[in-house]
Structure 1
């Protein structure tokens, strides 16, 4: 991969996100990866799950993955961009919410992550009982995909994963 392709990939990131997070700099080793990384969240932003819920899903996944970088980034974005209150951001770390519908989405995401793609047979019944639509179920799985682990220097205000889960 040439420097020109990497520079072009980072220019796309800057245009989309205004700044270039360190994670994007790591991914710039593959411009195709950067393109995919930008495309999936962009597409999901047009879906049925709103940004405040997507940030909570990312926080729950980051906590489960013990990823300080992702936890820090999504906590910051959740508070300052998606405008989720601090208590809900904290509850998201445990895949919980005061809102029963959001709690069901977080529980589904957590079950998919912990089951490595497989879920307990009771999960579909629980999500339907909570009013989770099929489109939301599909998007929950889609929101798991971009939450990658990488050994990346953290430029966000640090949020350390809890050790209780």
Structure 2
């Protein structure tokens, strides 16, 4: 049972109702995480904006979802791990690559560099070694993509923290945190 109750979309009014409608339009449904975020219309507005903007970013959905999976695994967020594994599959990321992201890896050099950079940002609060930054650039990440990686980490720390705190009911096929040791 969630520790913070999701907002019933049929009872939502004002900004919460508007943002839940925007969520439904963007995603074709209203995942439980967004219903929980609707407790604060400002939070839901920020969440919708971040997802919408980063979804159109330079890194694209395939790399963005792998970053989300790696961060969710590190932060122990079963909701986000499950959601981004499902969404990554919808973006055409192979199951082996989705699993590799849980381990901080990828067979694709650019995705691997983005994941490694994201995890370094996560673990050091952005104080990554020069060598990590150089490796990201060597693998083909531009400064724009490096900055975007920071935004992906921030978004995922936000959603992981919300879902871990709220104990949001997972409404995606459940992916166990324990299977990626």
Q: Which has the higher helix share?
A: 2
Take 1:98 and 1:63, find their aligned partners in 2: how far apart are those partners? 18
Deviation at residue 8 of structure 1 after TM alignment = 2.4
Task: For residue 130 of structure 2, give the secondary structure of its aligned residue in structure 1.
Answer: coil
Q: Contact 2:19–2:48 (CA<8 Å) still a contact in 1?
A: no
Q: How many equivalent pairs are there?
A: 163
Given the alignment of the two structures, is residue 46 of structure 1 paired with residue 56 of structure 2, yes or no? Answer: yes
Distance 1:164 1:52 in 2: 20
1:36 CA displacement: 1.1
Cα deviation 1:84-117 (Å, max 9, x = unaligned): 0000000000110011111111100010011123
Distance between the aligned counterparts of 1:161 and 1:122, measured in 2?
A: 30
Deviations 1:59-104 (A, max 9, x none): 001001110000000001111x201000000000011001111111
2:86 to 67, 71, 76: 76
Distance 2:41 2:79 in 1: 21
Distance in 2 separating the partners of 1:90 and 1:3: 37
What is the SS of the residue equivalent to 1:48? coil
Q: Are residues 1:116 and 2:125 paired?
A: yes
Which structure 2 segments of 5+ residues have no match? 1-10
Tell me which residue corresponds to 1:142. 151
Residue 162 of structure 1 aligns with which residue? Answer: 178
Deviation at 1:131, TM superposition (A): 1.9
4+ residue segments displaced more than 6 Å:
none
Deviation at 1:163, TM superposition (A): 6.8
Superposition CA RMSD, Å: 1.7
Other structure's SS at 2:135 match: helix
For the 8 Å contact 1:41–1:143, the answer to whether it is kept is: no
**TM-score (normalizing by structure 1):** 0.92
Question: After the TM superposition, which of the residue ranges 87-96 and 46-55 deviates more from structure 2?
Answer: 46-55
Structure 1 gaps, min length 5:
none
1:11-160 maps to which residues of 2 (within 5 A)? 11-79=21-89, 81-147=90-156, 148=159, 149=161, 150=163, 151-160=167-176
CA distance in 2 between partners of 1:85 and 1:164 (Å): 17
Question: TM (normalized to structure 2)?
Answer: 0.84
* CA distance, structure 1, for counterparts of residue 139 and residue 31 of structure 2: 36
